[in-house]
Amino acid sequence: MGKMKTILFDLDGTLTDPKLGITSGVQYALSKFDIHVDNLDTLEPFIGPPLTETFQELYGLSEEQSQQGIAYYREYFADRGMYENELYPGMHELLGGLKERGVSVCMATSKPTFFAEKIADYFDIGRYFDFIGGSNLDNTRTDKAEVIQHVLETQGIDPSETIMIGDRKHDVIGARKNGIPSIAVGYGYGRDEELRLAEPAYRAATVDELAALLRELME
């Protein structure tokens, strides 16, 4: 790991805490199908995975309904939801430190690139990233493995010199499919059992632990 030159970051649950915006957007979308959810905590599983997948798994929507659900979700998200979000404390320092060390920093998120770029600019972290890669607005390239592959190929990145950081099993599995080790963070929305079973190369419970681990891996 001493040769690590590129770090890939997930967005939701890894760089920022998007709970209010995402769950409120999903609540709004579900209401269009006459599904009313009062407790936003129950919608936390929507944070991280592709929305189509979660609409179908948790609420039994068809593929067509899920696509319509995403359209409703984006009505809310574009207007308010993307700003109902908080950057995790210490993230500016972590990202700035990586850039000072000359490491290439990229984002690999299942969120559409269009929204990911706006969120990065809103929190003034876009300047730390060499590339921001996400899904397409037509709901293609939502699988995390596909997103990571897109980032690697677009930037000409060597997987053997790269590590992926995320808070859900999708990040760990997507990294493995691309031959990349991963760090699972415990401060996001992946439950401990989920992350343990996914078998990441490393675990970090807090942003401070993540920063310390990255310093160790780069020495």
Active site residues: 10
* Tokens 């209010």 belong to residue: 20
CB 157 within 8 A of CB 127: no
Dihedral angle over CA of 45, 48, 85, 207, nearest 10: 110
CB atoms within 10 A of CB 205: 12
Distance in angstroms (rounded) separating the CA atoms of residues 134 and 143:
10
Torsion angle, CA of 193/13/173/139, rounded to 10 degrees?
Answer: 130
DSSP class of residue 139 equals S
